[in-house]
Structure 1
Amino acid sequence: MVVTAPPSLDADPFDEEVLRDPLALQAELRDAGPVVHLRRYDVYGLARHEQVHAALTDWQSFQSGAGVGLANFREEKPWRPPSLLLEADPPRHDAPRAVLTKILGPRALRRLRESWHAEAEALVDEVLTDREFDAVPALAQAFPLRVFPDAVGLPRDDREHLLAYGDHAFNAFGPPNGLVARGAPRVAELSGRVNAQCARDKLADGGFGARIWAAADHGDITHEQAPLVVRSLLTAGVDTTVHALAAILYALATHPGQWRRLRDDPGLARVAFDEAVRWESPVQTFFRTATTDCDIAGTTIPEGRKILMFLGAANRDPRRWDSPDAFDLSRDTSAHVGFGMGLHQCVGQHVARLEAEALLTALARRVRRIEPAGTPVRHLNNTLRAWASMPVRIHPE
């Protein structure tokens, strides 16, 4: 095989204008080749679906344990203890993953389904007192903050800080730019509040958090690992779901034909959610680190070098998807990488799908039409594609 140097670009994927609208850069990266060298950060970029999917599923060659952000934990000290789910590889990753897979399994979701649907109905009743509102705080943020911390076992008060903490955690996966600097003054405060909520005595009996501590009592994980697993659950279980719900609300408000399809068949709620996760990719990027000299499509990535996987670009790759820029409920989304893929695939994705199913079903039952009522505003984050504001107008039955 002939080894060639990859094309080299000076583009900055973490520039605020690119974060606001990354589609043009994503297309440039895909068209440049299967591997691109990004000179600004001296990392290798993968933007095509084939290569991103392959890297996600090959944890032996592309490790998470050196950090899933730009920082290389082989050389730099992380700003907080690394996540046992996102930033660990086997064997360190195995026991925490197995515990959470069991706790968040089908039996737990069956128990939650009825109550979460009831909570969604109650929230929609509250929201429908106004015909125009901002869907981000009113629905996309309100519903996860209403039901998920309850399921974990957190007290009812003092939940808003979870969004700020998660926002900084995902910003910190990028370079130390202005977005990171803006969140830095609150890092100690937010970390302290989240870490305190992961303690055994702060968690209600029967919740996900208490069950994680029970797994430590049983010897499935250590007692030192238990609060880190709870923290991972809180970090990944709120922000990403909030932004995925905002993505589906935006998609349906701007695609009235697809909203009618969902209203005619509410059973498409989970299909619609997955298509929105593919279309918007709330998690846009993650890094890996080469464990050895790796060949990708004729390019050798040296051992120890960082690889930036563009999940959002892969999810709109025309080499994999027909009409990838279209939001289409008839699409088979089974290969999308919005939740990752392989060993590190999002362990809470079925929880997020249940939240989306509950909220979309409640809306479809009560709302004839949903449409934009103003210009939406992006919330910028180095890793997440998110909305800060989304004015909508609803037409109830």
Structure 2
Amino acid sequence: MTITPATTSLDLPSVDWLDPAELARDPYPSYERLRQEAPVAWSPAVKKVLISTFEGCSFGEQHPEIFSSSIAGGTLVRAIGGRPLIRKDDPEHAAERAPMNRALRPKQIMEVWTERFEANARQYLERMISSGNGAADLNTDYAVPVAAKNLCDMVGMPQVDPLDLARWSTDFIAGTGNVLDRQDIWDRCERSRQECDAALDETIARLRRQPDPSITSMLLEGGMDEEQVRNNVKLTISGGMNEPQHMITNMVWLLESAPEQKAEVLAQPELWKQVFTEAVRYFSPIGMITRQTTSDVELQGVTIPGGTQIGMILASANRDAGRFQNPDDFDINRAGGTNLAFGSGVHQCAGKWAAQKAIGEIAVPMLYRELPGLRRDQERAETWGGWVFRGMTSLPVIW
């Protein structure tokens, strides 16, 4: 695979058949067709050149000098009201990322956040058990409040109702994925931005007086100006809520769909890390990331002009048979190769270690320890939503 300036202007393959509504219902058949027929192709519906293979997405992530994150405008910037660090390239990106890394490094996760993650999971699990009469919606009764309370703590906003923060996150994520430019979604983003900014007024004033280990405090201590602190906290709220929430329900859904593997991990708790890794490969919570080419580039036989918006479909890359054997099978004993669930390179998700600890080692294992009879309720409907960010919106369970 090469990076060379194109000498002639070439027409891009086009996938006129790709339908965002179908992607929201179930994106994986469309992803397979993309990989087979047009691994690098222009989508009129999404208004991006889509890269759908593991090879192509990995290449893009490892070459930020060509596949730039510095994109003027775009849905993310409009959703949160400013340009956060993931819409910047190094060295500007690295300067803003450094204080966030200090808040989220593995040592900090172990020493500061693990105890809080455990307390939050136990609080909402006990609440679900006491009020559920042996049945619950695992998404609304456990995954949402656990992920939201963890995030309130991590961004230094304990005064915020976790369900308000969850709503802000939902609205910011809806805006980021608003490729159809629906005005009602932009209106929701505006309301949530105003509420979030009001809460940040209080939070920033308090943290300037009394610093703590939170992400917001670390950003302030790192000398970041207040506007960028706000942009990066709102970025953290958008991604730091949605993805852990979906990881909880995805892991449970997958284990309940694979009873032999469930029995294996319950007998060998050391396998929980493998469950987490395979679950985020199988159902990637970050479906697509956006880049922009800085110059003409040839990728998998297709010349992409400079200045083109790119959608790297990580959820498709993680189901690529060129990388993973039997990729549509959930296999906690899968051998060989990392996946792209959290991206890679300089823009790899900063919250990877927090998610692995909070969800893969605490929230889901605790569910099965305390509720050994936990299982999906076959009498009630499960629901899914989204494709840029995809996850369960309802998972009825009984125990």
Name the TM-score, length of structure 1 as normaliser: 0.88
Q: Per the alignment, in what secondary structure is the counterpart of residue 341 of structure 2?
A: coil
Contact 2:81–2:193, Cα closer than 8 Å, also in 1: no
Identify the residue that residue 392 of structure 2 maps to in structure 1: 387
1:57 aligns with 2:62: yes
Contact 1:84–1:92, Cα closer than 8 Å, also in 2: no
1:258 aligns with 2:261: yes
Identify the residue that residue 18 of structure 2 maps to in structure 1: 12
Q: Per the alignment, in what secondary structure is the counterpart of residue 351 of structure 1?
A: helix
The AA in structure 2 aligned to 1:370 is L
The AA in structure 2 aligned to 1:84 is P
Which deviates more from structure 2 when the two are superposed, residues 24-33 or residues 99-108?
99-108
Q: Per the alignment, in what secondary structure is the counterpart of residue 335 of structure 1?
A: coil
Gapped regions of structure 2 (runs ≥ 5): none
Cα distance in 2 for residues equivalent to 1:246 and 1:255: 14
Identify the residue that residue 347 of structure 1 maps to in structure 2: 350
Identity, % of aligned positions: 24
Tell me the alpha carbon deviations over residues 285-332 of structure 1, each in whole angstroms, 9 at most, x when there is no partner: 122111000110221100111111111111111111111111111124
Q: 2:318 aligns with which of 315, 319, 341?
A: 315
Contact 2:101–2:350, Cα closer than 8 Å, also in 1: yes
Contact 2:80–2:172, Cα closer than 8 Å, also in 1: no
Q: 1:38 aligns with which of 11, 26, 43?
A: 43
- Which protein is richer in helix relative to its size? 2
Identify the residue that residue 107 of structure 1 maps to in structure 2: 107
Q: Per the alignment, in what secondary structure is the counterpart of residue 123 of structure 1?
A: helix
Cα distance in 1 for residues equivalent to 2:254 and 2:184: 30
Q: Per the alignment, in what secondary structure is the counterpart of residue 307 of structure 1?
A: strand
Identify the residue that residue 94 of structure 2 maps to in structure 1: 94
Q: 2:300 aligns with which of 297, 302, 315?
A: 297
Contact 1:279–1:315, Cα closer than 8 Å, also in 2: yes
Identify the residue that residue 168 of structure 2 maps to in structure 1: 165
Identify the residue that residue 188 of structure 1 maps to in structure 2: 190
Counterparts in 2 of 1:58 and 1:320: CA distance versus 1, 3 Å? same
Q: Per the alignment, in what secondary structure is the counterpart of residue 259 of structure 1?
A: helix
The AA in structure 1 aligned to 2:383 is R
Cα distance in 2 for residues equivalent to 1:205 and 1:48: 44
How many residue pairs get matched? 384
Identify the residue that residue 124 of structure 2 maps to in structure 1: 123
Cα distance in 2 for residues equivalent to 1:332 and 1:81: 42
The AA in structure 2 aligned to 1:296 is L
Name the TM-score, length of structure 2 as normaliser: 0.87
Cα distance in 2 for residues equivalent to 1:293 and 1:212: 38
Cα distance in 2 for residues equivalent to 1:28 and 1:170: 26
Identify the residue that residue 372 of structure 2 maps to in structure 1: 368
Q: Per the alignment, in what secondary structure is the counterpart of residue 187 of structure 1?
A: helix
Cα distance in 2 for residues equivalent to 1:379 and 1:166: 17
Counterparts in 2 of 1:177 and 1:104: CA distance versus 1, 3 Å? same
Matches within 5 A, 1:188-337: 188-199=190-201, 200-201=204-205, 205-216=211-222, 219=223, 221-332=224-335, 335-337=338-340
Contact 1:339–1:345, Cα closer than 8 Å, also in 2: yes
Cα distance in 1 for residues equivalent to 2:237 and 2:169: 8
Which deviates more from structure 2 when the two are superposed, residues 105-114 or residues 1-10?
1-10
Contact 2:250–2:279, Cα closer than 8 Å, also in 1: yes
Which deviates more from structure 2 when the two are superposed, residues 251-260 or residues 97-106?
251-260
